[in-house]
Amino acid sequence: MRILIVEDEPGIARFLKQGLEEEGFAVDVAATGPAGLAQAQAQPYDLLLVDWMLPGLTGLDVCRQLRAQQDQTPLIFLTAKDTVQDTIAGLQAGANDYIKKPFHFEELLERIRVQLRPAGGPSERFTLGPIVLDVSTHQVYKDDEEIALTQKEFALLEYLLRNKGKVCRRQSIIENVWDIHFEYNTGVIDVYMNALRKKLKITKDDEFLQTIRGIGYVARD
């Protein structure tokens, strides 16, 4: 689960990032309104935590702009403002929840879980350097640009990313991606690795998809 924090006070941002990472979330931080908006547009997140008062754009502006672009990512405001008018304005702008500072981390955590809950199946996502693979929507991005992959290309990349850092033997790949369980001598894997590297523009210098001669392949970042 990926969370973006948009918060300008470094102390609070650090505290949140650390706490959420300990809970197993992948956390990015943006320090200004425009930076947060750009980041949220660039990559898919599962949840946004947005401070109300921000340099550049207010949190309210960020929220409005995202919703205007049909971005329905759950968004929780995190703020010292606690007048009723502000709460209402925030929720009307399309926010999903609103927590007043000072807050207890436990409560924030639970409210985050509530927002992620209705998303149903956990949207499985894997990353490899600049590459993001979303299993549920069958989409792949490199540097925030969407890359169109065919079924087999996607399945192969998914298998390598699920085993990131581990060397995958050719035999395992054939069994898991092609579902062939007898000995089989073929060049399909080579052909597909070639297609993947081409589409993802991975050069020989990159080490994202390495060949292990005589064994198989590894994905590492």
Partner DNA sequence: CATGAATTTTAAGTGAATCTTAAGGCGGCT
Partner DNA sequence: AGCCGCCTTAAGATTCACTTAAAATTCATG
Residues that bind its own copies (CB under 8 A): 67, 70, 72, 84, 87-88, 91-92, 94-97, 104, 106-107, 110-111, 113-114, 118, 123, 126-127, 137-139, 148, 150-151, 164-167, 169, 212-216
136 lies in the site for DNA, by CB under 7 A: no
Q: Which does 197 bind (CB under 5 to 8 A by kind): DNA, its own copies, none?
A: DNA
User: In the complex with its own copies, which residue's Cβ is closer, 39 or 96?
Assistant: 96
Q: Contacts with DNA: how many residues (CB under 7 A)? A: 21
**Nearest distance, CB of residue 141 and DNA, angstroms:** 17
- Calpha distance 14→5 (Å, rounded): 10
Q: Which does 159 bind (CB under 5 to 8 A by kind): its own copies, DNA, none?
A: none
**Nearest distance, CB of residue 118 and its own copies, angstroms:** 8
**Nearest distance, CB of residue 165 and DNA, angstroms:** 18
188 lies in the site for DNA, by CB under 7 A: yes
Q: Which of 4, 168, 193, 218 binds DNA (CB under 7 A)?
A: 193
Strands 75-79 and 47-51: parallel
- Calpha distance 72→68 (Å, rounded): 9
Q: Which residues pair with 73 in a beta bridge?
A: none
DSSP 125-192: EEEETTEEEETTTTEEEETTEEE---HHHHHHHHHHHHTTTSPEEHHHHHHHHS---S----SHHHHH
Q: CA separation (Å) from 172 to 150, 154, 169, 189, 217?
A: 20, 16, 5, 11, 11
- Calpha distance 59→40 (Å, rounded): 13
Q: Which does 42 bind (CB under 5 to 8 A by kind): DNA, its own copies, none?
A: none
99 lies in the site for DNA, by CB under 7 A: no
